Structure 1
Amino acid sequence: MKKRNKNSPSLKWLANVSMAIICLIALFPIIILIISSFRPSSELLRTGISLTFDTSVMNISNYTYIFTQASQYWQWYMNSLAISAITVVLSLFFSSMVGYALAVYDFRGKNLFFTFVVFILMVPFEILMLPLFQMMINFQLVNSYAGVILPMVVAPIAVFFFRQYAIGLPVQLMDAARIDGSTEYGIFFKIMLPLMTPSLGAMAILQGLGSWNNFLWPLIVLRSNDMFTLPIGLATLLTPYGNNYDVLIAGSIMTIIPIIILFIFFQRYFVAGLTVGGVKG
């Protein structure tokens, strides 16, 4: 016991140093982008993206241009914010209901339905892309925000995650609520859903990150330049006739802000939600 106590401070120090190194490695690309975002386009074309910290050429002109002249950039920004927010809210609402039902209710075909959910998890989105696009054509949802949002509302990964979390919920509370005359919807919304808050917070981050960075599906569905999301809009800055690397890099840095805010808001639920949801069942 004494030997373990003597080694524990050094082990903690080693763990902290190791985590700090890992964090620096993970943040290294972002640090390079932040430094490069303050360099003019001519300097970027001459030396490329690097850690060169030359104060004589660094300025805030790229950000000034975004805030004062790049009105279309902010249109793309607002489009991404609206689509991501709606997708996260709808996904949490419907996916949590489906996962909860698969966890606590017994009905015919329950295991088969869950098998389909797991099977879809193993199918790459590129395989589902063409039939989904055909559905959007049939429903006349091409070049609309609904066409981008609806296929992502009930995500298989979210259903699987909520199902695993809901397995650990106390069913005795459901029985007590039924005795008190509560409906099944009342049990879910008033009793069970508050208990699933950690899982909701964790999945809000994961779904928000996926929707915010989604490039392929909005690229297929959307046609109008004014309706583009931020990833598509930034990609249009690179053309055979000119590459606005300075605006592209500065605009990319600005895209990190909503994800940071989302993580700060839900981070206290993130670890608890992933840990409990990952070991139940």
Structure 2
Amino acid sequence: MILMYIFTQAGNYWGWYMNSLTISAITIVLSLFFSSMVGYALALYDFKGRNLIFGFVLFILMVPFEILMLPLFQLMISMNLINTYTAVILPAVVAPIAVFFFRQYAIGLPKELMDAARIDGATEYGIFFRIMLPLMGPSMAAMAILQGLGSWNNFLWPLIVLRSNDMFTLPIGLATLLTPYGNNYDVLIAGSVMTIIPIIILFVFFQRYFVAGLTVGGVKG
């Protein structure tokens, strides 16, 4: 009875569900793509300012998100992105934790493969996409789970930048079921049951790479 209420009458449940799926999927893809490139460059290329950039990444890791919310919100306003998917996704495209993770993993990749590829005439982008990126598969799988979990459960930032009911993500939408006139925790819990399915699917799909990605990435050499 409660599940039927959630699916048929509780606001825009399936719309919220699709919003969360869309945002999480795009966030995972973009974050893995750009963060892996940054981490790879910091690990295997020697250029001026590399240590400074990595130090900046570590500094951002130590800054609570609550401190960054106001400048990020002002940036979204200036870019006219309030109440859009882009406003939710953009701050997570290059995640400091993902950059750090990929850098630590890429340090253990053999540079000899890069030299051999250059001798064969491969471009730097070709080396990354055709040789190094496949070797980073375990780290990509592990970070896909972590980034997917974080994006799927993200509540605070979407709450700040999203305005209309049809744009809400699932955590925000479910929170609207609680009103000052009644705490319908039974309805809220029933609606939360379906929220674990995408994370379970994501973990099952990538779980065989998860442990390898976490352990190998922390070993140098």
TM-score, scaled to structure 2: 0.97
| 1:185 matches 2:125 | yes
Distance 1:238 1:66 in 2: 13
SS in 2 for 1:169: coil
Distance 1:239 1:193 in 2: 48
Q: Which residue of 2 aligns with 1:119?
A: 59
Aligned residue among 45, 49, 54 for 1:109: 49
| 1:272 matches 2:212 | yes
Q: Which residue of 2 aligns with 1:165?
A: 105
Distance 1:265 1:72 in 2: 29
Distance 1:118 1:186 in 2: 29
Amino acid of the structure 2 residue aligned with 1:223: R
Distance 1:66 1:235 in 2: 13
How does 1:1-281 map onto structure 2 within 5 Å?
Answer: 61-70=1-10, 72-280=12-220
What do you get for the CA RMSD once the two structures are aligned?
Answer: 1.1
Return the offset for 1:253: 1.3
Note closer, same or farther for the CA distance 1:68–1:235 as it changes in structure 2 (3 Å cut). closer
Amino acid of the structure 2 residue aligned with 1:110: R
Q: Which residue of 2 aligns with 1:9?
A: none
8 A contact 2:7–2:13 mirrored in 1 = no
Distance 1:280 1:233 in 2: 44
Note closer, same or farther for the CA distance 1:280–1:251 as it changes in structure 2 (3 Å cut). farther
Return the offset for 1:280: 2.9
Higher relative CO (CA 8 A, sep ≥ 6), structure 1 or 2? 2
SS in 2 for 1:181: coil
Return the offset for 1:278: 2.2
SS in 1 for 2:81: coil
TM-score, scaled to structure 1: 0.77
Q: Identity percentage over the alignment?
A: 85
Amino acid of the structure 2 residue aligned with 1:156: P
Count of residues paired in the alignment? 221
Gaps of 5+ in 1: 1-60
Deviation sequence 1:64-93 (CA, Å, 0-9, x none): 223344461111010000000000000000
Deviation sequence 1:42-68 (CA, Å, 0-9, x none): xxxxxxxxxxxxxxxxxxx12222334
SS in 2 for 1:278: coil
Amino acid of the structure 1 residue aligned with 2:157: W
Amino acid of the structure 2 residue aligned with 1:141: L
Distance 1:230 1:70 in 2: 12
Return the offset for 1:246: 2.1
Who wins on radius of gyration, i.e. which is larger? 1
SS in 2 for 1:241: coil
Gaps of 5+ in 2: none
Return the offset for 1:244: 2.5
Deviation sequence 1:229-256 (CA, Å, 0-9, x none): 0011111111112333222111111111
Distance 2:13 2:219 in 1: 42
Distance 1:279 1:187 in 2: 22
